[in-house]
Amino acid sequence: MGRCFLKGNSHTFRLDGKLAVVTGGASGIGRAVAQRFASSGACVRVLDIDGNAKAYSCDVSQQDNVKAVFNQIFQEGRIHILVNNAGISHVGNLESTSEHDVDKIFCVNVKGMYNCMYASVAHMKEHGGGIILNMASIAGTSGLADRFAYSMSKGAVVAMTYSVAKDYLAHNIRCNCISPARVHTPFVDNFLRRNYPGNEQEMFEKLEKSQPIGRMAQPEEIGALALFLCSDEASFITGSDYPIDGGFMNLRG
């Protein structure tokens, strides 16, 4: 009788020897991605407007600031991976979204990702390739109530991802994006505290139940998918938008 053996591989999903830049890595999803990459062997550089001694303080919406920070990182060696995670959210429909709101969301969520890709892609070309992973959202491809500006920005992230993946295939640069549903981050807690004082737990449970799987994602789960897409095991994947949504897109209703 034949037997089947599953041989473990301790090198699966490793990033040893890779230099990875993670924007918005001081908290939430970005922090989870940075920690997961570091524990998998990568040398991680965090870019965040709330930087600390181990990070580069950087406003991704300002191109000069982004260029200066990337030039510093280039001195350390080749950048293999760029994770564009920095972003902000906004609640409101078309009529309740001001021009200022649109400009603010666009500058961070769209222009910020453009600035970081613009600063790094020539470097990646020069050094034989690289990996770009953008943080999108199901809001970019699915209708969500009261998320006009945010949805606009994340739809642009998906489109930019496809464009970069297409244009840089010949340069060995892979570009993908992740589209999470609701993730339990400090933003969620702060939103509930600000808008539903005294009823935070009740509203939290309501938000969790709106996910078909019955709960929000944890940042570490997004980090696990990010690790896979930036590893050598995902070398055949480019130009893809990966939903990680607890069934939100296909199992609602």
Does residue 139 sit within a domain?
yes
Which residues on adjacent β-strands are paired with residue 82?
21, 132
Reading across the β-sheet that carries 130-135, which strands appear in turn? Answer: 55-57, 43-48, 19-23, 81-84, 130-135, 173-180, 241-244
28 plus 59 within the same structural domain? yes
Q: 27 and 116 share a domain?
A: yes
As a whole number, mean pLDDT of residues 145-154 equals: 96
pLDDT above 70 for 9: no
Tell me: pLDDT of 2 over 60: no
In the predicted model, what is the mean pLDDT of the chain?
93
Clarify whether residues 153 and 228 are in a common domain: yes
Residue 99 neighbours by CB distance under 10 Å: 7
Do 100 and 144 belong to one domain? yes
Provide the token pair at 10. 């301790």
Q: What is the CA radius of gyration of the chain?
A: 19
Kindly state the percentage of the chain with pLDDT values over 90: 85
Answer whether residue 5 is part of any domain.
no
User: Which of 44-53, 85-94, 243-252 bottoms out in mean pLDDT, i.e. has the lowest?
Assistant: 44-53
Q: Which residues are catalytically annotated?
A: 150
Residues 202 and 89 in one domain: no
pTM: 0.93
Average pLDDT over residues 106-123: 98
- Same domain for 194 and 79? no
**Domain contains 253:** no
Query: Does 211 lie in the same domain as 142?
Result: no
| Residue 11, pLDDT score | 66
Same domain, 171 and 240: yes
Backbone angles phi, psi at 155, to 5 degrees: -65, -40
State residue 195's pLDDT score. 86
Could you list the residue range(s) of the whole structural domain that residue 205 is in?
A: 183-216
The CATH number given to whatever domain includes residue 115 is 3.40.50.720
pLDDT tops 60 at residue 6: no
Phi, psi for residue 126 in degrees, rounded to 5: -65, -30
Tell me the C-alpha distance between 95 and 39, whole Å: 45
Structure tokens at 156: 């642009």
CA–CA distance, 185 with 181 (Å, rounded to integer): 12
**242 located within any domain:** yes
Residues 98 and 193 in one domain: no
Same domain? 89 vs 198: no
Residue 77 in domain: yes
Residue 6 within any structural domain of the chain: no
How many domains does the structure of the chain reveal? 2
**Domain-embedded: residue 3:** no
Tokens found for residue 147: 């998320």
Does 236 lie in the same domain as 145? yes
58 in any annotated domain: yes
List the single range of 48-62, 75-89, 181-195, 216-230 with lowest mean pLDDT.
48-62
Same domain, 161 and 175: yes
